[in-house]
Structure 1
């Protein structure tokens, strides 16, 4: 097992407009780094970057006064090499192409797991992000009692993306509007579970090897979860009225 990264000499700029989220990360981050600079919007973040020249920037996207993308563009003019990690909500993933365009090192989906964030920081600073993706074959995703329920789908989504089940441009919204794509994801999860790459645990931390036993934290079986996801897929785009009209026109 790898030892925890040592950030004792690290300076981080953290930009987030939501006070609750800032407070949640302020304490665990400040304990691990030399200096933590916190800003509530892009303009404050830019001013702090100019003054303190941090080693890495962690920032939200949608903020008042100046958004994260504009702040990053201006920071890149000052230091084109500084690593940047974006924090984003699951429903903001349409921004991914823009993240790529401005050379963001990584992004992490809220709610943020501090361990995951620290690993992303370590990877960005050491240029190991692409290597980590390349070594994704050895990674195991564990879903169990310690996994917040709201993190289950985002974690599976990111894991499938790492394993190239679908392209970087595919968002969660597209998955839930395309039955074939959803079925592909479900089949991939089953295959990764069978190979040991995804591990589902019950409330007693015992691996669930079938599809009918309850899985923590939602206490539903994998089959129940799959059927629930299927029920969320939007109806096919075929318009019954249009189809009926076409049939009528064909018989006249």
Structure 2
């Protein structure tokens, strides 16, 4: 029998944190519950969790700051934000600093569990995927490294890497916008769509040294990477 997935849960609302912890444990997860960002960071460094579920608004160290600190150490561990915020900029900021998903409160446990499994499966895919070539670039998906002509290497974020992976795998085909939003963001709502546009812009800039490569916006359908 496989070992349970170890989750670090950082939530300062004691009652909510306990409910989430107990609900996840009934589904055979191992949950490390922390009530503030400082304790969560210390626990992350000593307990080696497989995924982080972080409340955004916490004392001592908020979820965004905690994620930034974690990303200085580990570029690949999945991070889910729990937030009462619904402003587009807040959501985009969460993804930009290295978050992989977010859930707006209140949320269902079933939805959280599905997103946890999706992120764990994506991480497993990343660890077993091959090195890919696109134009004059080499893309090491497992290490999230994009190299131009063996000269300049860029470190991609987790979400940039997964988005580029799917674009390359569907090279010269339209990547369905709704499908990829649901696959990588867990939803195709307005906030996720705005976030995806930001990441597409970032990838265009990182691929600009080979002017044969284009990421086209196919209006009403999605994106297409061409070489």
TM-score category by the smaller chain? 0.5 to 0.7
Structure 2 residue 56 is the aligned partner of structure 1 residue 12: no
Which whole-Å deviations, capped at 9, do the CAs of 1:57-77 have from their partners, x for residues lacking one? 000111111111111111122
When the two chains are superposed, the root-mean-square deviation of aligned CA atoms in Å is 3.3
> Cα 1:16–1:133, aligned 2, differ >3 Å: closer, same or farther?
farther
Partner of 2:104: 109
- Determine which of 61, 82, 97 is the counterpart of 2:56: 61
Alignment of 1:167-206 (within 5 A): 167-168=194-195
Partner of 1:161: 190
Report how far residue 159 of structure 1 moved.
4.9
The count of corresponding residues between Structure 1 and Structure 2 is: 145
> Cα 1:26–1:90, aligned 2, differ >3 Å: closer, same or farther?
same
Superposition TM-score, scaled by structure 2 size: 0.55
CA distance in 2, matches of 1:160, 1:9: 31
CA distance in 2, matches of 1:94, 1:138: 20
Q: Is the 8 A contact 1:89 1:109 kept in 2?
A: yes
Q: Indicate the structure (1 or 2) with the bigger Cα radius of gyration.
A: 1
Superposition TM-score, scaled by structure 1 size: 0.50
Report how far residue 106 of structure 1 moved.
0.6
The 3-state SS of whatever aligns with 1:66 is: coil
> Cα 1:138–1:63, aligned 2, differ >3 Å: closer, same or farther?
closer
Structure 1 runs (4+) deviating above 6 angstroms are: 128-133, 136-139
> Cα 1:21–1:100, aligned 2, differ >3 Å: closer, same or farther?
same
Report how far residue 169 of structure 1 moved.
8.7
Partner of 1:87: 82
Structure 2 residue 66 is the aligned partner of structure 1 residue 71: yes
The 3-state SS of whatever aligns with 2:72 is: helix
> Cα 1:34–1:161, aligned 2, differ >3 Å: closer, same or farther?
same
Gap regions ≥5 residues in structure 1? 1-5, 140-157, 171-252
> Of Structure 1 and Structure 2, which has the larger fraction of its residues in strand?
2
Structure 2 residue 29 is the aligned partner of structure 1 residue 43: no
Q: Is the 8 A contact 1:8 1:33 kept in 2?
A: no
Gap regions ≥5 residues in structure 2? 126-161, 167-175, 198-227
Partner of 1:135: 179
